Amino acid sequence: MKGAHKSSSAALWWLSLLALGVAAIAWLVGAGDGGLGAVGRWVFTTQRDLHHALTDAVTSLDRAPSLPAWWTLLALSFGYGVFHAAGPGHGKAVLSTYLVSQGGAWRQALALSCAAALLQGLVAVLLVLALVEGLGWMTREALGSVAWVERLSFALVTLLGLGLCLRACRDLLRLRRSSAPAAASVLASAPPLGQPVATGHGRVGDAFGARPPEPVFTSFAAVTAATTTPSPSVGHAPGVACCSGHHHLTPQAIEGRRSALLAVLAIGARPCSGAVLLMGVTALLGRPWMGVVAVLCMSLGTALTVSTLGLASVLARGWAERRLAAASSPRRLAWVAPLVALAGGVVIAALGVMLSLQVDEGAGSLPLLMRPAGTGLTGP
Amino acid sequence: MNKGNAGRGGWSLLVALGAALIASPLQAHPHGWVDLSVRLEVDDRQRLTALRQAWRMDPFYSLVLLEEIAASDQGMEAALDRLGSEIAETLAPQGFFTEASRNGAPLSFAHVTDTSVLNRDGRIVLHLRLPLAEPVPLDNARLTYRVFDPSYYIEVVHEADDDGVPLANALVVPDGLDCVHRILAPDPDPAQIQAAAELDRDDRAAPGLGRFFAETGVVEC
């Protein structure tokens, strides 16, 4: 027990990290209307100016197409993406809580951030093309549909959080049992616990099922491998990286990839209202391709900001891990990781639930020039 | 590795991360704007009777509205009229986004009387007349007003040139009055904004962020 004191003081670091995350989320959820600092104000006004400039650029490009006008539009779109950051604010909170609490290598963080940002743009493009061009909806109705995609996205956030909780619980259970002699045989019964979590990719399960240290996850992966993934573009992304994150604190690779995929979906499913509006307007002008290109540029800008945040999260966790490793015994460390993962899962699930509740409350309070509640230009 | 340096690096990283997350509420930036012009309406005793306003919707919002108008089978004129009354209906419970005071005392308004909607060069323009509950004298008065969307989803700005200098029609005071007028740019104070956000949670304070980003029209007579 001589390590107890050290490990508890080290756990304090983790707690303060998580507390930071929680505070940030409370801020995000509670202060949708406020919380601006001096830097914030600058970001704020820049965002607004970019929005104005982007509107002008589209209008003038529509009236008189020219190469400089195109460059202006693309540059503004990129800048808008950078400043709009994670598009929906919750994306950033989910991403950094996820990376800090679950761990992951920097390459995974990059892949996850970029995939989420690009998915966001893709959803905006496809939403408008499908609803307006495909189904013949009015643009205003299509814009209103963002509220529904938003609900879906928040549900995915909740699901992700719950999944992470279940996974962490199972890891804790496994750890507890592994101290008993019959550990290996008992382990095999654990997987069903995690079943609802599964949003997997067949290839992922196959590739990692063969890894030696985790027979439990092999069988789990086999059960869930058939689950399909809606976005092939993100399927391969996090995988490249997760081997290099082979740390004593890093959660299991397979599960990691599965939850990374869910994280990408949860963050990326909700398109940014600005992108949907831009897409809708260019479609209205009869130039949907202009919108597609501009929205993709926007996504690149968003990817830049989000991956910076992702990398910062990985660095922050790495730093805390090193401090912890220096301070405690490996045996205690084994307990810290799943506990932190559990806390992260709880935070993300709570965030998902809070956001879901907020959608309904906020829907009617938006100052729409026309029909209130649910239709029209909704979004944060 | 030097432990002290590593610690400092770690902390600054955490601070940066926190700052990035705290920037999240900034998502609440406006997604559309309105170019505003205001004209004071006075009676023959030089009392203020109404604020006549014209709201010129931004090009994107206008396009979306125009699509609906074009799709209407009632014809352009009827569709524009209907749009006007729909907007009036939506905005009435929100006081037409208008707040005004005379010598610091808030003024109360009656229901909007004339609304009309035009399509001017691809921009939808809403004209409205917001009458005061009762006329107020303007001599030795300092009249201030703000027009804003409390949630700041739509930004309302006075008509201005590219450099942000208000145009002559941004705020018009009738000729017979001996008044000076100007438009003050918003100067939001972070602490004030934070306080407003906190009050909002209880639904007690008049809402919002939009107020702190609103321009103030000032008329001194």
Q: What tokens appear for A284 in the block?
A: 């209205």
Q: What is the pLDDT of residues B51-65, one digit of tens each?
A: 999 999 999 888 888
Q: In this structure, is residue A228 part of a structural domain? A: yes
Q: Are strands B115-120 and B123-137 parallel, antiparallel or unpaired?
A: antiparallel
Percent of chain B with pLDDT over 90: 42
Question: At A13, which helix (H) or strand (E)?
Answer: helix A3-30
Q: In this structure, is residue B117 part of a structural domain? A: yes
| Distant-in-sequence, close-in-space partners of A209: CB < 8 Å, separation ≥ 6 | A217, A218, A221, A222, A254
**pLDDT of amino acid A180:** 59
Q: Residue A175 pLDDT more than 50?
A: yes
Q: In this structure, is residue A29 part of a structural domain? A: no
Note down the domain range covering B82. 30-220
Indicate the residue of B68, B188, B194 with minimum beta-carbon distance to A138. Answer: B68
CA distance B48 to A178: 82
| Distant-in-sequence, close-in-space partners of A79: CB < 8 Å, separation ≥ 6 | A50, A301
Is this complex scored with an ipTM above 0.90?
A: no
What SS3 string covers B114-181?
CEEEEEECCEEEEEEEEEEEEEEECCCCEEEEEECCCCCCEEEEECECCCCCECCCCEECCCCCCCEE
Q: In this structure, is residue A368 part of a structural domain? A: no
Q: What is the pLDDT of residues B9-19, one digit of tens each?
A: 566 666 555 55
Of A228, A236, A180, the closest CA to residue A200 belongs to A228
Q: In this structure, is residue B25 part of a structural domain? A: no
Q: In this structure, is residue B66 part of a structural domain? A: yes
Q: What is the pLDDT of residues A318-349, one digit of tens each?
A: 888 888 888 777 777 778 888 888 988 998 89
The conformation of residue A222, written as its DSSP 8-state character, comes to H
Q: In this structure, is residue A34 part of a structural domain? A: no
- Share the mean pLDDT of chain A: 70
Q: In this structure, is residue B159 part of a structural domain? A: yes
**pLDDT of amino acid A315:** 86
B165, B136 contact by CB (below 8 A): no
Interface size between A and B, measured as CB pairs under 8 A: 193
Q: In this structure, is residue B99 part of a structural domain? A: yes
* Helices (H), ranges, A269-373: 273-284, 288-327, 330-363
Q: In this structure, is residue A112 part of a structural domain? A: yes
Q: Do B71 and A316 touch (CB under 8 A)?
A: no
Q: How many domains does chain B have?
A: 1
CA distance A142 to A280: 8
Q: In this structure, is residue B6 part of a structural domain? A: no
Q: Do A369 and B87 touch (CB under 8 A)?
A: yes
Q: In this structure, is residue A163 part of a structural domain? A: yes
Model confidence, pTM: 0.71
Note down the domain range covering A353. 42-363
Q: In this structure, is residue B205 part of a structural domain? A: yes
**pLDDT of amino acid A28:** 47
Report the residue of B27, B55, B202 to disrupt the A interface, i.e. the one with the largest count of A CBs within 10 Å: B27
Q: What tokens appear for A42 in the block?
A: 């600058």
In angstroms, how far is CA A30 from the centroid of its own chain?
19
Q: In this structure, is residue A86 part of a structural domain? A: yes
**pLDDT of amino acid A141:** 82
Question: What backbone torsions phi and psi does residue A215 show, to the nearest 5 degrees?
Answer: -60, -35
Q: In this structure, is residue A298 part of a structural domain? A: yes
A133 band by pLDDT with thresholds 50, 70 and 90: confident
Indicate the residue of B21, B64, B197 with minimum beta-carbon distance to A33. Answer: B197
Q: What is the pLDDT of residues A21-61, one digit of tens each?
A: 545 544 444 444 344 456 656 766 777 788 889 998 998 89
Q: How many domains does chain A have?
A: 1
